[in-house]
A and B are shown apart, each in its own frame.
Chain A
Amino acid sequence: MSESTGEVEVRTEAKSDPIDGLWRFFSSTKTAIVLILLVAFASFMGSLIPQVPASYAMDPVSYAQWLAAMREKFGAVANIYDALGLFNVYNVFWFKLLLIILIFSTIICTINRLPALWNPVFSPRIKVSDGMFRAAAIRTSIKARQKSSGRGIPQPVKGIAETVFSTLSSHRYKVFVEQGEGTTHFYADRNGIFKLGTLMTHLSLVILMVGAVMGGMFGFSDDGVVIPEGKTYNVGFGENFSIRADQFKAEFYPDGQPKDYWSDLVVIEGGKEVAKQRIRVNEPLEYKGVRFHQSFYGPALAVEVKDGQERTVFSDVLPLVQSSGQNAAGWVSLPGTDVALVASLPFGGDATRPATVQLFKGQVPTSRDTLRPGETKSIGNYQINYKGLKSFTGLRMVKDPGVPVVWLACTLLVVGICVTLYFPRRRIWGRVTAQEVVMAGTADRTVNFRPEFDRIVEAIRRV
């Protein structure tokens, strides 16, 4: 903060060291503001332009399909968006680079300003030049009153100084004193310590990034955990427990809006049930730092498939995870064959509505039929038994050890902002001699300082 007090350090090194140049570039507030605006602009584009869903972005084939849909919507512009990564702004390299540069700039700005923040708070300069007093926008000189005895003996310096200091203290200023020859120098500040709020704010941004990186490095997440009712899901990611979904239920309002849906989950570790919870959208299950969030749901079909020799090749619950038009669909490749079974079921309707089962050999559809629950039909060379309609629950599984760090950063951020905004600093330098008290003041730009300064001067005069 370059205030017009003349006490700003002037750096004299004129070396054209590239590191020095970089340092100066990153420590400039202008650079920081430009970076913030760039990030803001990029994020803004990201909220205007449709973003590719994470699951499509990872798979080239689905991404190509998605891109084709965007070409229809935007025309040739879609290619430009694609080339610039604007369909996936938050994951594109230049956005990440921008964030890294912003963190870097925040760190350098903070380091660079440390002495400038620290010194005025804990070891301020008390004795300042005459020039500074002359240049100060707000200053005053109070002449000492002569004793009425007529002999013109000035009041003792010490007494005057005491008066000045106590007045400043009573206005909530912290006073620093340096004794000179016949002159007492002083410096007083109000809210000086709160200058460190800026430090807190910027530090909190760095901590925030640390928290985010911790999540990425030591955590994991999976948006698409699908568990059919009654089945057990192995957590993986180095965790040695599994999750069983006992039951899933959804309730709806008369207008068809979802009212509530929940899954009964059981945590199984070492063959034992170690935890049990009904999870809802706002009530996740947490076990050993891994959270399971209710995310989506859908139908699942209990199906048994026998081949020509009456051997069971498949008997399981098949979740219909995909949605195609008015239908939920799911597929499984029958073990030991090159045949895939695709099942679909219309959304809505009662539990006895028929499901469609279709067999594929490679990519080629071979035969299809519809079945109601409990029915067995022969489709192609297989006996297919649709045993019953069930549900699957879709969970988001996440482990993020960075979360507490993020909350710490958020707290520091808000406290830092409040401290910085609500406690602006005022500073007063002065000299007390036998003849006069000279005072000059300055304050953060956000304060209308003159009335306060005048009040203090008036208080000193009165004594």
Chain B
Amino acid sequence: MEKMSIYLVTSSFGTLAIAALLYLLHISSKNEDIGKSATIIAWIGGVFLTLALVLRTIVSGRGPFANMYEYTVSFSWGIMLSYLFFERQIKSRSLGLLVVPIAAVLLLYAVSLPGEVEPLVPALQNNLLLTVHVSVAIFAYGMFAVAFGSSLMYLFQKDGNKVSWLPSADVLDDVSYKSVIIGVPLFALVIILGAVWGNVAWGRYWGWDPKETASLVTWLIYLGYLHARSVSGWKGTPAAVLIVIGFVATLFTFFGVNLFLSGLHSYAGL
């Protein structure tokens, strides 16, 4: 079953890569049929990923959240879930051009990592908190990835709707906002659940550990975006730039801290 799960991850990478290509073809040709098949294949990729994670959960008897391989696959799953949700919401497939490749690249990276099921070190031996803390994080990261995709497109589109095949600037701005307002409370929950766990395992709810700090900074960036938008009426380019910066911080929180810095979260490395 462990092998099966790894094969499924590899095939979902292939599937999503094809889906990304189809999104590109659909957008450049405006062919509705190609678009539909892109969506179907993206869904198939999503189902493969879901199966891979379910199998892994069964094999290991815990959530698939114990090392970089599992985090990355889960991250990719969260992105696909958020993306497919928004594709239905805005009835436009153009976001797929940017967001689906992000999920595919993450899977490619995961495939390059050692994928064996590893036993848990003592600090992680808290099934409830491990599952809730990390799975909420996956949803939040997924939302931030969608916001990044739509904001990046916004920056090409600008206020004049220059690019005819992209959704209008208003729609993109709206998608960014909607995904951020889902992501921000979720990420607040991630940080708080982390604090609850830190308090149980390490005896303190906050210790400026690199992962804690990076998460806080990431969250503050998105919070800055929300304030700028509601209080100062920021819309458009500056807001989109802030979201792009926010996603860079998200990636740093996700990868950078585990790979380049040592801290209490470094068991989550390779």
Contact = CB atoms under 8 A, between A and B. Distances in A.
B233 A293 contact: no
A44 interface: yes
Interface stretch (A72-80, A175-183, A256-264, A363-371): A256-264
Interface in B226-256: 226-233, 235
Contact of A414 (B119, B189, B203, B233): B189
A396 B122 contact: no
Contacts of B121: 257-259
Interface stretch (A16-24, A34-42, A135-143, A340-348): A34-42
Interface string A34-65: 00110110011011100100000000000000
Which residue among B119, B122, B210, B232 has the maximum number of chain A CB atoms within 10 Å of its CB? Answer: B122
Contacts of A29: 227, 231-232
A121 interface: no
Contacts of A291: 203
A432 interface: no
A44 B181 contact: no
Interface stretch (A124-132, A237-245, A279-287, A325-333): A279-287
B187 to A, nearest CB: 10
Contact of A417 (B122, B185, B199): B185
A43 B202 contact: no
A93 to B, nearest CB: 16
B61 to A, nearest CB: 15
A418 B233 contact: no
A203 B213 CA distance: 22
Interface string B117-138: 0010111011000000000000
Contacts of B185: 414, 417-418, 421
B59 interface: no
B122 A47 contact: no
A220 B7 CA distance: 51
B224 A47 contact: no
A253 interface: yes
B203 A284 contact: yes
Given A36-B224, A282-B125, A413-B188, A47 B214 contact: yes
A421 B184 contact: yes
A198 to B, nearest CB: 9
B79 to A, nearest CB: 21
B199 A403 contact: yes
Contacts of A253: 119
A336 B214 CA distance: 52
A282 B122 contact: yes
A406 interface: yes
A422 interface: yes
A47 B203 contact: no
Contact of A445 (B203, B205, B210, B230): B230
B111 interface: no
B177 interface: yes
Contacts of B188: 413-414, 417
B205 A46 contact: no
A460 interface: no
Nearest to B261: A47
Contacts of A1: 230-231
A39 B221 CA distance: 11
Interface string A1-32: 10000000000000000000000000001101
B231 A421 contact: no
Contacts of A212: 206
Contact of B203 (A40, A398, A407): A398
A444 interface: yes
A418 B257 CA distance: 28
A101 B127 CA distance: 39
Contacts of A400: 204
Contacts of A261: 122
Interface in B91-126: 119, 121-123, 125-126
A427 B260 CA distance: 51
A221 B203 contact: yes
Interface string A253-283: 1000111110000000000000000001110
Nearest to A37: B224
A444 B230 contact: yes
A33 interface: yes
A410 B184 CA distance: 14
Interface in A177-209: none
B40 interface: no
A360 interface: no
Contact of B181 (A37, A51, A403, A422): A422
B150 to A, nearest CB: 16
B205 A282 contact: no
B229 A445 contact: yes
B80 to A, nearest CB: 24
B216 interface: yes
A280 B122 contact: yes
Interface string A202-238: 0000000000100000000100000000000000000
A337 interface: no
A309 interface: no
A46 B231 contact: no
30 contacts: A39-B220, A40-B220, A40-B224, A44-B214, A46-B208, A47-B257, A90-B208, A221-B204, A258-B122, A259-B121, A259-B122, A260-B125, A280-B125, A281-B201, A282-B122, A282-B125, A282-B126, A293-B202, A295-B203, A396-B203, A396-B204, A403-B199, A403-B205, A406-B195, A410-B195, A413-B188, A414-B189, A417-B185, A446-B177, A448-B174
Given A90-B208, A258-B121, A259-B119, 7 more contacts: A1-B231, A29-B232, A33-B228, A40-B216, A44-B213, A48-B261, A421-B226
Can you list the 10 inter-chain pairs with the closest CB atoms, starting with the nearest?
A293-B203, A47-B213, A281-B122, A396-B203, A47-B210, A421-B181, A282-B126, A40-B220, A398-B203, A410-B192
Interface of B: 119, 121-123, 125-126, 174, 177, 181, 184-185, 188-189, 192, 195-196, 199-206, 208, 210, 213-214, 216-217, 220-221, 223-224, 226-233, 235, 257, 261
